[in-house]
Copies of this chain bind each other. A is one copy, B any other.
Amino acid sequence: MPFSEVSTRRNVGAHLERVPKATLRAHIVERLRLAILAGDIPPGAPLVETALSERFDVSRGPLREALRQLIEEGLVVTVPYTGTRVAELSVEDVQEIYSLRTVLETFAFEQVWPRRDDRFRAELRRRNEALIATIDAGDDRASILTELEFHGLVYEASGHRLLQRAWHGLRGRLQLYWAAHHRAHGRRGPKRDSHDSYIKAAFGTDFEAMKAEIADHMRRGMETTEKFLRTRPDLSGKPKRRANS
């Protein structure tokens, strides 16, 4: 049994950087996810396997597996024997994203807070400056990504892998939404000073103030979101069919 229960082999090449050969599937997942999150393939658009397999120049096998993964990430929905589409977010979905995100981000801060981690704080400042630079450059799409990277730092610093995993799920859905927002409204990235009080609280000593700041930040995001989605009744309240097991 070559794929033995416990490997006894000497790890001869361990000092070398392990560069596992990339699989087509992994490549497709990245490219397809990017295309969806960038808005190249908008929410609700059909994802026909044969068309995609031709577009990415692979057979349907790896492509289907890539789709499975994106389904699990919530970026794609499918109905057996019928079709696959880019997921659409309803108002309720976005409300859920922000409410859950409030809880998770508060928890993440709770993990980082007692450590008084200076490297974390420095990096937080650095990312905020990077965000401001991107906003000043006028690149809305990049601003959204930089904004999410800013918030992502807290989850990274928490060292909580399951929490990071949950954040990634939320982040993907948020990108999906912001991409649609951007396409519909044009320039509407985050504001230049939107994190000033957030940062201030993060450097303070009052954890309750930090909690309030997170909640407020989320509330603002949710309000913007709802205002946008209510102008598009086609995206709200639709009971989307989720058929994967």
Contact = CB atoms under 8 A, between A and B. Distances in A.
Given A3-B46, A96-B160, A99-B160, A245 B72 contact: no
Contacts of A46: 1, 3, 5
A203 B48 CA distance: 51
Nearest to A79: B20
- Kindly state the interface size class of chain A when it binds its partner: 35 or more
Interface in A1-55: 1, 3, 5, 20-21, 23, 26, 29-30, 44-46, 48
A104 interface: yes
A30 B72 CA distance: 15
B20 A96 contact: no
Nearest to A106: B103
Given A72-B72, A104-B103, A162 B96 contact: yes
A92 B159 CA distance: 11
This protein's copies in its complex: 2
Interface of A is mostly: helix
Contacts of A65: 64-65, 68
Contacts of A80: 20-21, 23, 26
A74 B69 CA distance: 12
Given A80-B23, A103-B103, A44 B5 contact: yes
Interface string A82-96: 110000000011001
B3 A48 contact: yes
A22 to B, nearest CB: 8
A161 interface: yes
Contact of A3 (B23, B29, B82, B244): B82
Interface in A141-179: 160-163, 165-166, 170
A193 B73 CA distance: 38
B162 A97 contact: yes
Q: Which of A68, A99, A104 has the most CB of B within 10 A?
A: A68
8 contacts: A1-B46, A3-B82, A68-B72, A72-B72, A92-B161, A93-B162, A96-B162, A162-B170
Interface of A: 1, 3, 5, 20-21, 23, 26, 29-30, 44-46, 48, 61, 64-65, 68-69, 72-74, 79-83, 92-93, 96-97, 99-100, 103-104, 107, 160-163, 165-166, 170, 243-245
